[in-house]
Amino acid sequence: MLGDFGNKSVWHTAKSYNGEIFLQVTKLKGDELYISIFHIGREEETSKFMYTVEISCVYGKESFSGHHMVRNYVEGLDRIMRLRKCVIFSRNNFQKCLTKRSVLKIKLRMYTT
């Protein structure tokens, strides 16, 4: 869940999966919301992981989703965003799913290839 959506532009969340450490970075830039998962570990291990992100609207049955490969932390968010190697949602889509308190509910699922 992303709270305080109107006042922040970057959110960081640590995750653990299969004994590995990951960092979910979500960034609002312009009219796009970028969501990337970074593996904090050996680069050789990173390519084993993928993720799916789903944003569901609170009222109604509409939802938006995307999936991508996990990136290694050394690649950096700015580079990943510039190369568009992460899940990206347009403001037109994700704004439909904001609650009255400007909260966006995000469901993340990680898996191995």
| Domain positions in the chain | 10-112
In this prediction the pTM is: 0.88
In sequence order, what DSSP letters do the residues of 29-88 get, joined into one string?
ETTEEEEEEEEES-HHHHTTEEEEEEEE-SSSS-EEEEEEE-EEGGG-HHHHHHHT-SEE
CATH number of 10-112: 2.60.210.10
Query: How does pLDDT run across 82-113, given as a tens digit for each residue?
Result: 999 999 999 988 888 888 888 888 999 999 98
- Residues 34-74 pLDDT 10s: 999 999 999 999 999 999 999 988 776 789 999 999 999 99
